[in-house]
Amino acid sequence: MIDRDRYPVDPWRLVEKSIGLEDFGVTETLFTVGNGYLGMRGNHPEGRHAMEHGTFINGFHETFPIRHAEQAYGFAEVGQTIVNAPDAKVMRVYVDDEPLSLDISDIREYERVLDMRDGVLRRHVLWVTPAGKEVRIDFARMVSFEEKHLAVMTVDVTVLNADAPVTVNCQLVNRQDGEDVYGGFPVAPKKAGFDPRKAEQIAERVLQPQEYWQQGARTVLSYLTTESRMSLAVVADHIIETDNTYTSRTLIEPDIAKNVFRVQAKAGVPIRVTKLVSYHTSRGVPARELVDRCRRTLDRASEEGVQTHFERQRAWLDAFWERSDVRIAGHDDVQQAARWCLFQLAQAAARADGRGVSAKGVSGSGYGGHYFWDTEIFVLPFFTYTTPLWARNALRMRELMLPAARRRAHQLNEAGALFPWRTINGEEASAYYAAGTAQYHINADVSFALAKYVRATGDDDFLYRNGVDVAVETARLWATLGFWRDVDGEEVFHIHGVTGPDEYTTVVNDNLFTNVMARFNLRFAARTVREMEQIDGEVYRRMVDRLQLDPGEPEAWDRAADAMHIPFSDALSIHPQDEVFLEREVWDLENTPAEQRPLLLHFHPLVIYRYQVLKQADVVLALFLQGNHFTPSEKLADFEYYDPLTTGDSTLSLVVQAILAAEVGYQDLALKYFTESLFVDLGDLHHNTSDGVHVASAGGVWTALVSGFGGLRDYFGDLTFDPRLPASWPELSFPVHWRGTRLQVTITARELRVRAGEGDAVEFGVRGTSYTVQGGSEVVVPLADQGPTIQGRPTLGQFARARREDGTLLSASVPTTTTIPIVEPDA
């Protein structure tokens, strides 16, 4: 899945040993450095060959009118897209006025390294110029985790065998609006054609210049976005250290600034240029004030010293890995990829500080920088169990979106609040309602993540003062969205006209995932307000006044939850994905040509919607998140039915399928799915890594390790383990933070060990038996096995002679003129 000659195995570093000129976009993503607020793609400092010279700031966006071919009431009206911030990465080197250019220069040594222990991107080059001069160039780039608004870059140049004039040209460039002195230079080609995963492009000017000036080695650019009226400032300081003689020159224009150092280099005498850069953004502060903030950031950074920031970065990451690292014994290749994924989560969210975590973090412009349900379901579990503060900050973002969510619910004729399917500023930005707005399940996903956070941390204060508003308002929406039907004298609660996680099946009735998650949402809200009334009457009364809560609402929520319709097919002994899913024809994925994948790029949505085919796990995800409501036999039957129908066109599927495959017994298949998820970006398996890191998939990797192979569950706030260690893995070890106590869980083929740090005792269960580990002690639990084992994988052959409720046979086909009958596997 990855070229090991180019990217050798190293458990703590991603190392590139040779230059690739054909996949700049992928490597720009893989070597991104960021901190959750600021991200700098792994562009080479020469600032030339690139798919996207990207610098992104979380939440910094432009708006534009969404133009629908046919307008209707309630359609999203204003789109949002992340803005490419001014690029400060350029530090260009010339020797004898010859530029270092990776495509044509004589490069004798090359190595690029992203070190996940110190959070620094480094590149080493030995360049021989046309005149035969050997030049060693070492570059480093760091976006600080400690100093949210600070990036540090250095370039070290030494001419080894001769004297020579050396120039280092440092630049700030507004690439968002097309300004680039090398604008006509060939760049890596962008793929043509329709792809909804790409960011929206705005033809008009986005960044309007405000204040720009230079003073000595300090350079200032600032802007105001044209429509969203967000402000941005970037300020850079430049420091040169050398025993050679040198001069410096500057240039400042609205969209480009240069600080140029001309050095008369002596053989063997090094030159170091350091660039300290600060970015600040705001939704309402004038650019001039942001310039002042940048100046203060840089003044402080200079006073503390550049080396101090590198040392603090290492100390920050030491602490991160101590509370987060998942260790996989005996497989350094898996270990390397797993750590890269966890490191990407830190880079996507550590300093988001109340902003959301976008689908690409700050590593690229894919999906326009939007926040999705990915955060709550696939990313927050890692935060909750390793760094709860990050989870709290992400949940706080949803609380801040409540006013817009209330307006959206009202617009769609519902009570409470409806969180947007995709957004940056809190407003719905999805132009295609069928696969966007109709995914009401996001309400339950947010409430689910809130409940998991509170139960794992014991942070009732956050729940009662902040989170309860989210729980109540999301529950209110289900109460009005759903409706009652009398079925044979029994009242049943239904939810119609929604889309589940599977975007290949839209606007359906009683989507199973939506219904089981809505049931959880309703019960959680009812339980929360009752507990508040008992525990803290004053906080409860303030909440009642603030939300105008009717005393009868909790009872109504519980009643709806208890009566929620959960589809089940007696004929097939499975849970249908929705009320009519099984009436559709089966898509024969096994005989679908590879060149027609992913389906969304090769078939009209209406074609896809007519078939039983999944973009991503839907029922299977419900089996994991709400597994306590399904029996083992139901999970096995559902998994075997849906697995052959799942395309994996979404990177969110692999991790979910891995978890359930491990639980029900398809352990080899689980490892296969996990390995694919592990290399989604490192191997560019979906051919769109160039648009940015698949952050949710990276989060899912942690969940697959800890919940899939480690068997962690916490239904009703009870911590349990039922391990499924792969047969080829000697040991799996990971930390879990549970209500203030850190646990180190280690699993081997024959035992599970839980070692507790300082803190309160923790109760946990292993396969039905309860244990308690005291703070500072260890409990060892013998394991007879690693659960059931089923060979192979489910196939379409299982559908042979299977009949629907109406007695008709299932048949499989690809949307052509030919129908392919299902046959027995041995036929």
CA dihedral in degrees (454, 455, 458, 461; nearest 10)?
30
Asked if 696 contacts 652 with a C-beta cutoff of 8 angstroms, the reply is: yes
- 722 token code pair: 């039922």
3 state SS of 422: coil
Beta-carbon contacts of residue 461 (< 8 Å; ≥ 6 apart) = none
Pairing of strands 256-265, 106-115: unpaired
Q: Give the type of residue at 358.
A: S
* Residues 387 and 317: beta-carbon distance below 8 Å: no
Alpha helices (runs of H) in 191-331, residue ranges in sequence order: 287-304, 306-324
Is 503 one of the annotated active-site residues of the chain? Answer: yes
Task: List C-alpha distances in Å: 486 to 49, 461, 482, 514, 712.
Answer: 65, 41, 14, 21, 39
Among 666, 769, 777, 656, which Cα is nearest to 720's? Answer: 769
Which residues have CB under 8 Å from 373's CB, separation 6+?
A: 421, 439, 441, 442, 445, 446, 501
Let me know the angle formed at the C-alpha of 803 by 802 and 805, rounded to the nearest 5 degrees.
145
Q: Which residues contact 102 (CB under 8 A, 6 or more apart)?
A: 19, 21, 44, 46, 48, 49
178: left (phi over 0), alpha (psi -120 to 50) or beta: left
* Catalytically annotated residue among 473, 503, 553, 663: 503
Residues 6+ apart with CB under 8 A from 796: 586, 588, 589, 590, 644, 812, 822
**For the chain, what is the largest distance between any 2 Cα atoms, rounded to a whole number of angstroms?**
95
Helices H, strands E: what count in the chain?
Answer: 20, 33
- Which tokens hold the place of 12? 């703590």
Q: Name residue, tokens 């244990």.
A: 771
Backbone angles phi, psi at 321, to 5 degrees: -70, -35
Inter-residue contact 765 to 721 (CB < 8 Å): yes
Q: Tell me the three state secondary structure of residue 747.
A: strand
Tell me how crowded residue 267 is: count the other CB atoms within 10 A of its CB. Answer: 13
Burial of 702 (0-12, 13-18, 19+ CB in 10 A): buried
CB-based contacts of 7, cutoff 8 Å, min separation 6:
14, 15, 16, 17, 682
E strands in 144-254: 150-159, 164-173, 207-215, 218-225, 231-242, 245-253
Contact 693, 29 (CB under 8 A): yes
Q: Whose structure tokens read 């280690």?
A: 746
Q: Report H helices in 511-666.
A: 512-535, 537-547, 553-562, 605-609, 619-625, 632-642, 652-664
Is the Cβ–Cβ distance between 474 and 446 less than 8 Å?
yes
Lookup result for tokens 């759903």: 482
Catalytic center residues: 503
